[in-house]
Structure 1
Amino acid sequence: MASEAYPYIIFLSIVAIMIALSPFYLIALVFVLLLAFVVYFFRDPERTIPSGNDIIVAPADGRVTKVAKVNPDQVDSPSLISIFLSPLDVHINRSPIAGRISEVNHIKGRFVPATREDASLINEQNVITIENGGVKIIMKQIAGIIARRCVLWKKAGESVALGERVGLIKFSSRTDLILPTEYNVLVKVGDRLKGGVTIIGRKN
């Protein structure tokens, strides 16, 4: 379980106990259910990461909502994959490739629904660039109408392994990935992905 869950667990546990000891003890069930949801939401299951120097793995669990060229008018345009994470998905973000984080930018913005087309342009987000041997991957942690905080556990200059945990987004969100032209996209809209496990791109 992600450590970010502990403040919520402690708070909800204290409230549930206090109410359970009062004449309104039945209301404590509401907080017990909220506590169960928090534990479930912040789960962090172990994953078996595939091996290979020519693959890109999913940076998050969720459903693919968009696969498109970043610049449709250009033949050699990078590809964009958008992944929507519902409140029931695991919200841990993982590194799509092994390499070094060359740049991290936090962009302040709005909190419109993550499924909106323009969410990647106007919402609060972390933009993480990962490089390895000339290959550059851009991953975006995008906040949504419920998700109000993107958490990144790594800093620029740090190395990451393929599928390594790098952060999380709290309570429903979206993760975008921009793949360079030398990679074939292996997923389509509607596919369900498992972070660190599903291979979403392979080098030509």
Structure 2
Amino acid sequence: MIAKEGFPFIVTAAVLFVVFLVFPKWLLVVLSLTCVVFFLIFFRDPERTVPPFENIAVSAADGKVVEIKDEELDGVSYKKVSVFMNVFNVHVNRMPVTGTVVKVEHRPGKFLAADKPESSMENEQNLIYVDSKYGRMIFKQVAGLVARRTVCYAKENELLQIGDRLGIIKFSSRVDHYFPADTFIVVSLNDHVKAGETVIARFEGVKEGEDS
């Protein structure tokens, strides 16, 4: 399966390949074919199987864990887990928990290299605020040095299930996960994770008075 955002890139590269094949410019033929293959790989959107466990959060992104820390955002303390995606990772993001999207906020900013900690606050980004049975969470799509386009599929007041497609970031970038402060993080720095499949956090259970 290919993410719909990839079709303009793939079709353009394929058309150029055919044109260069008809009017042979062999270097251009090779370059355009390489682009077709690259875009097919980059915009792949494989199906994922969510682990059959209770009280977990899965990674929103494929890539490497580059930051784990306690951090305040909007005056609230969270456990933060950041995942960096390189150009070879799947770039479709997935919902880490089941919850209702209460707000999607776009913040303009810089385009620093996304593996740098300062990019989390300074770069252009989408913030997706989610209410779940474990409390408020925020998932942040961060643009990078190459990635200048973040796409969020989620709509305000929409209920999404764990593992649902959340959006896509075009080319390498990062996703920051902000979990409640009492969340137990189960990954370590430099771990490689998969969106929708790798468990990155566990919760003690639902809040008092809510259903499990």
TM-score range, shorter chain: over 0.9
Distance 1:135 1:46 in 2: 28
RMSD of equivalent CA atoms: 1.4
What amino acid is the match of 2:203? K
- What is aligned with 2:116? 116
Q: SS state of the match for residue 126, structure 1?
A: strand
Residues 139-183 of structure 1 deviation map (CA, whole Å, 9 limit, x = unaligned): 000000000100111111111001111111000000000110231
Q: How far 1:22 sits from its partner (Å)? A: 1.6
Correspondence 1:129 to 2:129: yes
Identity of aligned residues (%): 35
Distance 2:77 2:90 in 1: 30
- What is aligned with 2:49? 48
- What is aligned with 1:156? 156
8 Å CA contact retained: 1:66, 1:81: yes
Q: SS state of the match for residue 80, structure 1?
A: strand
Residues 54-107 of structure 1 deviation map (CA, whole Å, 9 limit, x = unaligned): 111101110000111115xxxx94211110000000101001100100111001
Q: How far 1:122 sits from its partner (Å)? A: 1.1
What amino acid is the match of 1:116? K
What amino acid is the match of 1:30? L
Correspondence 1:86 to 2:86: yes
Q: SS state of the match for residue 117, structure 2?
A: coil
Identify if the C-alpha distance between structure 1 residues 134 and 27 changes in structure 2 by more than 3 Å, giving closer, same or farther. closer
Correspondence 1:198 to 2:198: yes
Identify if the C-alpha distance between structure 1 residues 187 and 134 changes in structure 2 by more than 3 Å, giving closer, same or farther. closer
Q: How far 1:53 sits from its partner (Å)? A: 4.0
Q: How far 1:128 sits from its partner (Å)? A: 0.3
- What is aligned with 2:19? 18
8 Å CA contact retained: 1:94, 1:164: yes
Residues 12-41 of structure 1 deviation map (CA, whole Å, 9 limit, x = unaligned): 111111111224234211110111000000
Distance 1:151 1:81 in 2: 20
Distance 1:79 1:117 in 2: 15
Distance 2:149 2:178 in 1: 21
8 Å CA contact retained: 2:99, 2:160: yes
Q: SS state of the match for residue 97, structure 2?
A: coil
8 Å CA contact retained: 1:20, 1:26: no
Distance 1:15 1:163 in 2: 36
TM-score of the pair, normalised by structure 2: 0.91
- What is aligned with 1:95? 95
- What is aligned with 2:38? 37
Q: How far 1:52 sits from its partner (Å)? A: 3.7
Distance 1:61 1:134 in 2: 23
Distance 2:6 2:133 in 1: 36
Q: How far 1:131 sits from its partner (Å)? A: 0.8
What amino acid is the match of 1:38? F
Q: Which runs of 5+ in 2 are unaligned?
A: 205-212
Aligned residues: 200
Distance 1:201 1:83 in 2: 13
